[in-house]
A and B are shown apart, each in its own frame.
Chain A
């Protein structure tokens, strides 16, 4: 179907830019769908959007931020159709405006989070980073640019060794970096002042889904009383409630129980979440989720 190709084509074109999050690319593609739409009623437009959203979600079933971003866009945009419009064009322009605003907020989300989170980086502190997150990188770069002196310890992130890329980018920004193997986290934790990670998704309980090993690091940080901070954009807030690690593979539909790519960290182990909606405690996340989805 050509519509499908167009949507996926748009999506892939936006994804070419490496700085853009997957969900933001999806949001831009969905806004383009509204612009192209030939529907003559609001219901027709909504159905087109829903189909496009389903196509994008099917493209990569395992990406939680992609499906959460699509869901949030649908909720945010179609909420407007509750109001009556005299003609479809006024309604369409309103929807496009809201779609673009949502896209802008999501695009700037990283900067907002960096601004909020860099207050928590003190001079002379040592930060442990796990996983490869562009939000975390932006936060640390901003703190360094604002003249804060701190050191970073990056876990190797096996088996794909993503930590090496992260360490290269950090040292390019002039931040002293040390890379450690994943098993050395407990050994180094007493030298560390705080732990900072990104998230693939933030779930209803206030917990996070992130690259495998995050739960382990959180357990160690908690037992050694180190603050564990998460930097995540608001479009990653998903309507999921995993009760244990197995629930995760069920909801994302992956068969990887022997070699999982992600794990779930319960809210009990998180100290604070830095989001573009503000600094939140894990218990505040469900409040924000309700506000976003209702």
Chain B
């Protein structure tokens, strides 16, 4: 999909088999991963495979905001920091300005206080340094009440 010369892509993970949330059974929690780097998306996709969650992906902040503006709802958003078009800070701010209260966990390869503070000011609920591991992901899901087994 193109808009004003910029290109946006969002991906429905193979976890969902093309139907939102149904492949993992009724009540499967819906996670939005906002991450531009394919390697990182592939790893998270594999991390959630055994967990009873449905994963959708957006390649940048604008794609994530568009999904939400379009009516998509999620139980948790994992938001990368550095992304083209719209970065994680701005996407978080825009999502919050839409009145969306879904927990947003900010992800960054840097563990800078300034990054953390900017994300929290934008409306993120917490900040996690990358890379995500299975244990970190399970802890995140537990904190936000996501049943994953």
> A and B: real partners?
no
